[in-house]
Amino acid sequence: MSAVATPVRRRRTRYRLRVAAVAACLTLMCALAGTVAARVYHGQLLVLLVAGAAFAAFAIGFALRNRPAFLAPSASLVGLAAYLLGAIALTTDGREPLPATIVDALVNAVPRTLTALIPVEPAPDTVVVPVFLAWLAATLACEFAIRYGRTLLGCLPPVLLYGAGLYLVGPNADGGTATAVAFCVLAAAALAVTAAPPERRPDSDAVVDGPAPSKAPALMGAVVTTCVLLAAVALLGPAAARLVTASPGDPREYVEPPQLTDIDLNPLVRIAAWSKYPDQELFTADTTADSLMRLAVLTEYDGTTWQVAGDFRTAGTVIPGSGEADFSADIEIIGLGGKLVPAAADPATLTGLPIAVNLDSRCLLTPDGLATGSTYHVESALTTVDPAAAETARPDLADPATVAVPLGTPEIMATIADYVNTTYDTPYARAQGLADFLAQHYAYNPEAPSGHDLPALGFFLGSPADAGGQRGTSEHFAAAYAIIARLVGLPSRVVVGFEVPGGSSTVTAAQASAWPEIAFDGVGWVRFDPMPAPDAVPTPPEDTLEQLEEETPTPEEDTGGGGEAEDFNDESLEQEGDFNDELTRDAGGLPVWAWYALGALLLACAPLVLKARRALRRRRRLGRGSPADRVAGAWAEVLAAAARAGVKVPGHANAEEAASRLSPLNGEIGTLPRLVNAAAFAPQAVSEEDARAAAAIAAAYPRSIRHQVKRWKRLLT
């Protein structure tokens, strides 16, 4: 009896070891699959949560594997609810009651997980989805593999969980090769230890009779198959990887980010109301140093409003991309309102509010809006500018939106731009000179009506003071500065914020202002102050601008014309007699008709001479000089071709404005405006390839608009 029982016990022991091995492999597979998504999360908290969910779910299923089928799912559901409550309680900050936090996390889990800024901060609404999916995958894997003996089917839930993690990560993390290899090895091990047919597997309570079947062939087949698969992966994996050139899709692109309210889209209009009521209390601040706390950064201008550019992405308490924090502030909202959150640049961490971050300007937004009594703590890495580096730096023209000028700019802006270009030589000197010009010639008036569209700014800059012009708030000064700076060729933007002193203070509307910033290559955004000094008496701008016009030489003076010109009305120069007779005598008897024929021949050759002159000029412009000179020559050829078609560009227009004026011709100028800007402000950065590309555009452009040139021009010139 004992001789028969011993093999039976051995077979049951081997079976239980195989079941335990499968359970361990699948549990680790679920844990690994769950941690794939954790690569875009901040810290290791999510790794612990999904691993704990996988182990707990598999433990419940494994313990109840021999119980009625309905019992394991029921117990797993109760365990899932308890585990989710624990995860939410562990990641909440305690600002809201726990029931409200639970409801909010469950309702908004999916959209907030997909829109959260990377690295994602573990919060109740960002950990619910990964924990739930890890628990579900472990439960299904246990049921399929352990209860029903289908190991291959039991590997499917971890594989799907792995794929979901890869989809959530998208292109925002590395490939995770080590995790993928470990996952495949665990799957192969689970399949290898269950090579016996399911009908021959003894149950834990079954009575086993007869000798144990041989497992050697099945085990040998599993080993051989595993070796072949590993060899195929090792040989074909690198080749297959080289064939993959596309980046994985990012699911965050398909979810609508948090939206701004009307007052947040254009916060510049709030300056006028704050100027009229300077004693209005906006918020209290306890800061470690004096600072400029930004509310919004406005880059896009359409001729009517300055607006925030870019999307806001949900973020946790840690804001990526900032340096080490060296400034902190504790804020309590009193009467600010809106969704935009004041913070010094660049914010590194923020606690106390759910926030979203603008990917372009790094300004902050709270989706629920600011309310009286809202409090938060923000730490920032204060941005610093090297004045010496800025004075010698070139403008940063990388972003076309920062140099775009709308059509219809008032003439006074172009006049001021010409004055700045004529008076100052370097980009930094022009930026500072423009600020000085506005500060010296215009006055501050808190009662000035709000408005920063082109007509309103034209009235502010060009209307007489006794008619209400030349007076404005920081809204007018900042908006006018930014547009004129773009006419000068400087990339600009407008910032709305507050000047906050160090220590504890109450920030009022009087501390709110708008200021312009200019981007310099290698330096960053530099603030300029065009506001006049208190009690300063402005000089009428027309005095300075008229003086400039008087000092500018006229074309006649440039060419030497004027007072010493010959008097063609002098009677002594008049000839007596018939002109034809004089001509006949001088020609030695040559008939008059021959002279007419010679004149007609010369007139007929004039178009050929003009065409040859244009060809030689084009050859000189496109073939001589440095690459920057040839790019400028290509641009001159394009403008000349456009002028022949009837579209003339004023001399003060920059490349972007000129391109917009040329757009009705439907000619292709490609990247030529960008190359022109580079040639003007960074000539050494223009390469031979750039010059050849500009020459190709200049050569093709006249042909593309030839049908829009009048026929007589095409024939004669």
pLDDT in tens, 537-552: 888 888 788 776 655 5
Q: pLDDT-based confidence at 457, cuts 50/70/90?
A: very high
Give me the amino acid identity at 120.
Answer: V
Peptide linkage before 119 cis (omega within 30 of 0): yes
Q: Any idea what the Cα angle at residue 316 is, between residues 135 and 525, rounded to 5°?
A: 150
352 has which bridge partners? none
State the DSSP string of 666-677. T---TTHHHHHH
* Residues 45 and 123 sit within 8 Å (Cβ to Cβ): no
Domain ranges (residues) in the chain: 2-213, 259-553, 593-716
**Long-range contacts, 660-663 (Cβ 8 Å, 24+):** 660/407, 661/407, 662/638
The model's pLDDT over 372-407, given as tens digits with 9 standing for 90+, comes to 999 999 999 888 888 788 888 999 998 888 999 988
Q: pLDDT at position 92, please?
A: 85
In three-state secondary structure terms, 702 is helix
Write out pLDDT tens, residues 70-100.
888 889 899 999 999 998 888 887 767 888 8
Task: Report residue 288 CA to chain centroid gap.
Answer: 31
Q: 499 vs 671, which has greater pLDDT?
A: 499
Closest CA to 359 of 258, 270, 267, 269: 258
Contact at 8 Å (CB) between 188 and 229?
Answer: yes
**Burial category of 561 from C-beta neighbours within 10 Å (exposed 0-12, middle 13-18, buried 19 and up):** exposed
Contact 636, 684 (CB under 8 A): no
Q: Which residues of 245-260 are buried (b: 16+ CB within 10 A; e: fewer)?
A: eeeeeeebeeeebbeb
Q: What is the pLDDT of residue 5?
A: 59
Q: Which helix (H) or strand (E) holds 39?
A: none
Helix (H) / strand (E) containing 214:
none
Interatomic CA distance for residues 127 and 102, integer angstroms:
12
Task: Look up the pTM and report it.
Answer: 0.56
Burial class, 660, CB count within 10 angstroms (exposed 0-12 / middle 13-18 / buried 19+): middle
498-515 pLDDT per residue, tens: 999 999 999 999 999 999
- Residues in the chain, total: 717
Q: What is the mean pLDDT of residues 417-442?
A: 93
What does the pLDDT read at residue 288?
A: 92
Exposed e or buried b for every residue in 147-176, given b needs 16+ CB within 10 A? bebebeebbebbeebbebbbebbbeebeeb
- The answer, yes or no, to whether residue 112 has pLDDT greater than 60, is yes
**DSSP 8-state class, residue 201:** S
Which one is predicted more confidently, 700 or 560? 700
Confidence band for 230, pLDDT divided at 50, 70 and 90: low
Please check whether residue 512 is in contact with residue 500, taking contact to mean a CB–CB distance below 8 angstroms.
no
Handedness of CA 550, 551, 556, 562 (dihedral sign): positive
Residue of 130, 129, 126, 142 whose CA lies nearest to 57: 142
Residue 158 and residue 146: Cα distance in Å, rounded?
Answer: 14
Closest Cα partner for 402 from 278, 219, 525, 277? 525
Confidence tier at 209 by pLDDT (50, 70, 90): very low
Average pLDDT across the chain, whole number:
80
CB 380 within 8 A of CB 347: yes
